[in-house]
Amino acid sequence: MPTIEFDDVTKRYGPETVALDEISLTIEEGEFVILLGPSGAGKSTMLRVLNGLTAPTEGDVHIGDDPVSDNHSEVGMVFQEHHLIEGKTAFGNALTGALSRNGLLRSLFGIHDHEDKVTALNALETVGLLRESGQRAESMSGGQKQRVGIARALVQEPQLLLADEPVASLDPKAARDVMRYLKKAADEQELTTVTSLHQVNIAREFGDRFVGIRDGEVIFDGDENDLTMETMEAIYYADSDERTPDAGATDVVDPTSETETETGTTTGDADAVSPTTAADGGDGV
């Protein structure tokens, strides 16, 4: 498990847009950190810097003893839009997490080592989808797809797990399911984890530490006991005398209406299928 170090990190886009402004932050090994803030605050930019997808304009970022580079196989990423291959099964999608080890050509032809197959099935078991390993992504609910996305990241065998608004498009129940499995995966595999969220009440249930970002600056860093209403106003409201939420911050609490119904969710799959036995049965991709 690596320690993450931001040392006076600034990220500019053009001469006038400052996405991150002199951020210095240490995330300890095994912490489950949730980034809070309105849209455009800099949360996604922080994750992109950690993933090596964009380089800081100034300052340094280290994962353990190593500087972040564009070779980010040690960093697993869970995306907001899950980015699954709809025609593949949950098992086949999870196996794509082994791409960095397996190579593009072998992956394209569905050739995988037995060890990778077992890893993929274990990952699906971790997120409660072992029974659905043979189900195609196109027939899955949004919450199930996001859990497959978590499994895919676990198959990558990362040191650091990142998630960018992983429950933004889900109803409250599905959102909690996804966050519960994300936290379970981080705990079981002892992963340092950083995720961004808007839904503060969901964040409170799962985070060990909360970092509030506004206008590219860290304005709060603390645990659940420090996350008061006054703190939330400072994070999500422009000024102390202003009470109109910033754009994108209207979902500080969970929406009351569900946008999607989570179906087919199963728990306790560990007793239903043996990952090792299933792996011996073929790819099922």
pLDDT in tens, 7-36: 999 999 988 899 999 999 999 999 999 999
pLDDT in tens, 112-161: 788 899 999 999 999 999 999 999 999 999 999 999 999 999 999 998 99
Q: Residue 98 has what pLDDT? A: 87
Nearest to 213 by CA among 192, 197, 193, 191: 197
pLDDT confidence bin for 258, thresholds 50/70/90: very low
Lowest mean pLDDT among 28-37, 164-173, 261-270: 261-270
Position with higher pLDDT, 148 vs 3: 148
Q: Residue 43 has what pLDDT? A: 95
Lowest mean pLDDT among 11-20, 79-88, 228-237, 272-281: 272-281
Is 270 part of a structural domain of the chain?
Answer: yes
For the chain, give the mean pLDDT. 83
Position with higher pLDDT, 279 vs 182: 182
**CATH assignment at residue 42:** 3.40.50.300
pTM greater than 0.85: no
Torsion angles phi and psi, residue 27, rounded to 5: -115, 120
Q: Residue 285 has what pLDDT? A: 58
Is 44 part of a structural domain of the chain?
Answer: yes
Structural domain count, the chain: 1
pLDDT in tens, 73-101: 789 999 888 889 999 999 999 999 988 76
Q: Residue 261 has what pLDDT? A: 39
Is 285 part of a structural domain of the chain?
Answer: no
In the predicted structure, residue 254 carries a pLDDT above the cut 80: no
What percentage of residues in the chain have a pLDDT greater than 70? 79
Domain containing 105: what range?
4-280
Alpha helices for the chain (secondary structure H): 43-50, 90-95, 99-102, 104-108, 114-126, 142-155, 172-188, 200-206, 229-236, 275-280
Q: Residue 152 has what pLDDT? A: 95
Number of H helices, E strands in the chain: 10, 10
Q: Residue 266 has what pLDDT? A: 40
Q: Residue 218 has what pLDDT? A: 96
CA distances (Å), 37 to each of 99, 141, 197, 237, in order? 33, 27, 8, 10
- Give the mean model confidence (pLDDT) for residues 172-181: 94
In the predicted structure, residue 1 carries a pLDDT above the cut 70: no
**96 C-beta neighbours (distance < 10 Å), count:** 19
Position with higher pLDDT, 192 vs 271: 192
Q: Residue 259 has what pLDDT? A: 38
What percentage of residues in the chain have a pLDDT greater than 90? 62
Q: What is the DSSP letter of 98?
A: G
Q: How many residues are present in the chain? A: 285
Q: Residue 148 has what pLDDT? A: 97
